[in-house]
Amino acid sequence: MKSRKSFFSHSPSQHGFTLIELLVVIAIIALLLSILLPSLKLAKQQTQSMICKSNLKQWFIVFRMYTQEYDESFNQGWAGTGNATLSNWWMDAGRRYYGDVGEIRCCPTATLVEFNKDGTDGPGRGKEPFRAWGYDPGFFRNEEDYGSYGINGWLENKPDEWAAAADIPKFWRKMTNIPSPSKVPLLTDAQWIDAWPEPTEGPPSSVDTRWSSGASDFIRVCQNRHRDSQNMAFMDGNVTGIGLKQLWVLKWHRTYNIGGPWTLAGHVNPTSWPLWMRDMKSY
């Protein structure tokens, strides 16, 4: 009698993967991932930059509506220490025009706040340049405010009693006072709500330097969030990515020297730049 095949027997053509075949498959997957991941990362960065620019464009529209309603004047800004209820930040001034939608105050690369509403350290603490500013009761009216953009503080129509005497002639105050709006920054990637740059002030010593009182205001706005560039809205409505060293050649205030010591026109020493910025394009 012919013997019956065992239930557990297999034909030579029915077999699983060998170790070598598995290793080959794993190697192919790893190779594909190594090819695709940089492309996916770049695509994500480009998308984030596009959203950031869209946010900034909306902010230009907000400011344009505000200035048209207030005789071409900008908001007043901060009133000084202990006067948060008097302060008229850009978030306050524009609130009814943008519907108080917090997301458009943030670059999508920087959404985690430095401070929680109760004053404790937030999840973004120490993560410069990829963090947002959060609520500070000494400065803010609204405890829900957070963001990662900052206004050019020299635009503000600040009352003289709120400003230092030497600074009063520097303020733009009104749209009609700006002769070349394409050169004047409005809102940009930043680690604080506002900035007051001066041409003699230098760059941050490292990519993750945190601004502290008395330091260069360029530390507030020099934020490497978009691959050696940052996004900025200008007073003519243009929104674009700019090189980090380009910050020093913009017309921040009325008497700002665009040929200052940190520019090519001012004969900047290339080695004066910190190492992390040294190979970036100069202006």
pLDDT at 216 over 80: yes
How many whole angstroms separate alpha carbon 223 and alpha carbon 225?
6
Amino acid at 16: G
Q: Residues 69-76: what's their mean pLDDT?
A: 96
How many whole angstroms separate alpha carbon 122 and alpha carbon 114?
5
pLDDT higher for 11 or 141? Answer: 141
pLDDT at 42 over 90: no
pLDDT higher for 245 or 42? Answer: 245
Q: Residues 193-200: what's their mean pLDDT?
A: 97
pLDDT at 95 over 50: yes
pLDDT at 1 over 60: no
**Percent of the chain's residues with pLDDT above 70:** 92
**Is residue 7, in this structure, part of any structural domain at all?**
no
pLDDT at 68 over 70: yes
* Among 128, 136, 280, residue whose Cα is nearest residue 206: 128
**Is residue 261, in this structure, part of any structural domain at all?**
yes
**Percent of the chain's residues with pLDDT above 90:** 73
**Is residue 211, in this structure, part of any structural domain at all?**
yes
How many domains does the chain divide into?
A: 1
pLDDT of residue 251: 98
pLDDT of residue 17: 64
**Is residue 255, in this structure, part of any structural domain at all?**
yes
Q: Is 160 exposed, middle or buried (0-12, 13-18, 19+ CB in 10 A)?
A: exposed
Entry field: residues in the chain: 283
Tell me which H or E stretch contains 56. Answer: helix 19-69
**Is residue 283, in this structure, part of any structural domain at all?**
no
pLDDT at 146 over 70: yes
DSSP single-letter state for residue 156: S
pLDDT of residue 141: 84
Q: Is 137 helix (H, G, I), strand (E, B) or coil?
A: coil
* Among 151, 131, 139, 136, residue whose Cα is nearest residue 193: 151
CA dihedral 139, 192, 52, 151 (to 10 degrees): 70
Q: Residues 255-275: what's their mean pLDDT?
A: 97
pLDDT of residue 14: 55
Q: Is 95 helix (H, G, I), strand (E, B) or coil?
A: helix
Tell me which H or E stretch contains 163. Answer: none
pLDDT of residue 118: 87
Q: Residues 168-173: what's their mean pLDDT?
A: 98
**Is residue 94, in this structure, part of any structural domain at all?**
yes
How many whole angstroms separate alpha carbon 232 and alpha carbon 259?
20
Q: Is 238 helix (H, G, I), strand (E, B) or coil?
A: coil
**Is residue 64, in this structure, part of any structural domain at all?**
yes
DSSP single-letter state for residue 283: -
Q: Residues 51-77: what's their mean pLDDT?
A: 96
pLDDT at 176 over 90: yes
Q: What range does the domain containing 32 cover? A: 19-272
pLDDT at 93 over 90: yes
**Is residue 58, in this structure, part of any structural domain at all?**
yes
pLDDT at 46 over 60: yes
Measured in whole angstroms, the distance separating CA 20 from the mean position of its chain's CA atoms is 49
Chain segment 121-137, per-residue pLDDT in tens: 999 999 999 999 998 88
